Amino acid sequence: MRLSLLVLLIAGLSLFAATPASAQSPVTVNLAAQNASGVSGTAVLTQVGNDLRVVIDLSGTTAGSSHPVHIHSGACPKPGDVVHGLTAVVDGTSTTLIAGVMLDSVLDGDHAINAHESATNSSNYISCGNIPARAMADATTAPAATAMAEPTAMATAATTQPATLPKTGAPAPQLQWLLLAALAIGIGLVARQRTTARAS
């Protein structure tokens, strides 16, 4: 009885390990200065439901200045066509929610984000960064990648040290908690059936 409970528990935990936790994790793009602008920073891309949120932080800009920014096809220093327009950077920051765009659509290793000097002098690029391909973006989330790659090792550790079980689960979507709750109810039913069978 105790053994089957343990097996069920490990099976439940494997739900956490097997799910690609990094599939929707944010991606940070480093924006490097171009043409001696002294303007550099980051763009953080996050999937929010069916929309793509892009938050840009640039240092080295002039107070009050406005810099057009876009997601382009291609790569720095001279990316191709504009794929998505973004809110212009003012005072170093910009936040855009692009409706109906999935993060993965720009994680093919062939997209870049750049900032232009101004609307009137947009041909002068002041900052640019390549959006990493999905595999490279995942590599930056090491803990999740390790859990994905070694679910067996995790289960083994759980067997030898049951006291640490609850702490090994990474933050997970609600669906997984529902599955785990269903599993717990299942264990309860099995235990009850066995008790009943023994009694009769």
Q: What is the DSSP string of 78-139?
A: S--SEEEEEEEEETTEEEEEETT--GGGG-SS-EEEEEES-STTTTSEEEEEEEPPHHHHHH
Q: Minimum distance between the CB of residue 105 and Cu ion, rounded to whole angstroms?
A: 18
Pick the closer one to Cu ion by CB: 74 or 151: 74
Closer residue to Cu ion, CB minimum distance, 34 or 114: 114
Nearest approach, Cβ of 68 to Cu ion (angstroms)? 6
Nearer Cβ to Cu ion (111/137) = 111
Find the shortest distance in angstroms from Cβ 71 to Cu ion. 8
Side chain identity at residue 161, one-letter code: Q
**How far separated are the first and last CA of the chain, in Å rounded?**
18
Three-state DSSP state, 184 = helix
By C-beta, is 117 or 138 nearer to Cu ion?
117
What is d(CA 106, CA 109) in angstroms, rounded to the nearest whole number? 8
CB nearer to Cu ion: pick between 21 and 128: 128
Residue nearest to Cu ion according to CB distances in the complex = 70
Cβ of residue 89: shortest distance to Cu ion, in angstroms? 11
By DSSP bridging, strand 66-73 and strand 111-116 are: antiparallel
Chain-centroid distance of CA 162 in Å reads 30
Which chain residues interact with Cu ion by CB under 5 A? 70, 114
For Cu ion, the closer CB: 122 or 140: 122
Nearest to 34 by CA among 2, 69, 85, 4: 69
Please report how close the Cβ of residue 69 comes to Cu ion at its closest, in angstroms.
Answer: 6
Kindly give, in sequence order, each residue whose CB lies less than 8 Å from that of residue 171, ignoring residues fewer than 6 positions away: none
Minimum CB separation of residue 157 from Cu ion in Å reads 48
